[in-house]
Amino acid sequence: MSELSELKKKILKLTRDYSREVHSSNRPSTDPLKFSWNVGDVIPYAGRVFTEDEVEAAVSSTLDFWLTLGSEGLNMENELSRFLGTKKTLLVNSGSSANLIAISALTSHKINSEKRLNINDEVITVAAGFPTTVAPIIQIGAVPVFIDADPITGNPKCDQLEAAYKPGKTKAVMMAHALGNPFNLLETIEFCRKYGLWLIEDNCDALGCSYSMPKDIANRLGFFENSPGLNDGDENIIRWTGTWGDLSTQSFYPPHHLTMGEGGAVNIINSKKLSVIAESFRDWGRDCWCPSGVDNTCNKRFDWQLGDLPKGYDHKYTYSHLGFNLKPLDIQAAIGRVQLKRLPEFIQLRKDNWNYLRKGLIKSQEFLDFALPTHATSWDSENGFSWDHSGCKTDCSWFGFKIAVKKEAFFSRTDLAKILDKNKIGNRMLFGGNLIRQPAFVELKKNRPSAFRIALDTKGSDQIMENTLFLGTYPGLTKEMMDFEIDVINNFSNHTST
């Protein structure tokens, strides 16, 4: 056995040596071993940021060859749950699957009938964003109701929530924190509390963002403690995004705040019942909660009587929901556990990179609009953000650096995108733009007019679709890369204006 252990050590040492030689471009920007970027090289908008530690973890797990979700997965679920301060975190195979599990959990027969999400019940969401925030609502047979998005924050116009509400039909709100900018949680939570609605936070772009609320208001809404790792101010409760609602979701796809390759998570904030239900939907719909390879943790495996099954039917093969199999591999979880240790550094680098780009692009603000965090009213290079009178603030771990071309500009968003592309600077639209303009939704409305509802006009989402793109803020960006981006954009906007 000792010979095998020594052999594994040798393999892992060679693995680390190989990774250092081959993957230097993927190291964090602060790492002295990161490759030197040169003009003419590609600047990705996002990407995997890792060292030999993640590669070693993946190879070590592969050599052990458990494969399916096991001890690495359980440890990562516990570690992420502790970081956020949630009741439970469940790993899944993607952020899209996480959204599907979260909304499906609300359809369970184990939930009180008045709160349960039934066929044709309505879920309020936002028109601008990524389609798999909305698709699961339709896939479970519910009706998404779209409110508009604000072109500056990229987030939902929460003052439209009341207009979207329909008594007896509206059961939940499910919206994303756009590009790492928390949406107006105060207004949303007050609305949900008023009508007894579920709140699902799509936190896929916002891991490591926080939202603060005056203590008197937070206490009135049932929040009395800050999240782990966050210090409350004298007058505010501060919590991570993804911990204010009933459920939240994460994505660990490579562009996100940490990566497992493919992967995601469902966070259950307070409810043990929702934890059991969500896990059932993830794991084939089974009623048993024993992890793979473990039996009879309830000590009554052959004593249950559920449904019309005979008493004593094996609990491991008893199904309470029409579920899925959406677990990731243990190998992915091994990578994710190393990434999770880097998360505080990654969060800070994303903030620093956003600020660096914002200061560098002051020369272009005559023609370009830049994002403001929710509750911010302005920004200046000396003092940073000014805030509204709500007492709430947001601290953004930015997923991207949002740029909108003003109407007064002598160039379009597409012109800017082409220049960036020509200079090998990665850029993206704000995902699907106004989703109701997408072919899938146009066809859906044509074939089934009642499939979704639009609360009010979506002019803000149209502006985002027509005028907005974003650059990267990911932790692999170096100052040399960002300086080049700044020069290209400033030179282009100044040249165009002459």
Measure CA 41 to chain center.
Answer: 29
Q: Which residue has the tokens 């282009």?
A: 492
Q: How many residues does the chain have?
A: 498
Q: Is 389 a catalytic residue?
A: no
State the distance between the two ends of the chain, measured CA to CA, in whole angstroms.
74
List, in order, residues 6 or more apart from 381 with CB less than 8 Å away: 358, 359, 362
CA-to-CA distance for 386 and 383, rounded, in angstroms?
8
Q: Which residue has the tokens 């705040």?
A: 257
Selected catalytic residue, list 23, 109, 177, 256? 256
Q: What is the CA radius of gyration of the chain?
A: 24
Strands (E), 306-464: 368-370, 376-380, 384-387, 393-395, 400-405, 453-454
In a 3-state reduction of DSSP, which class is residue 232? coil
Residue type, 213: M
**DSSP bridge partners of 370:** 403
CA-to-CA distance for 403 and 45, rounded, in angstroms?
13
User: H or E stretch including 99?
Assistant: helix 95-105
Task: Kindly list the catalytic residues.
Answer: 256
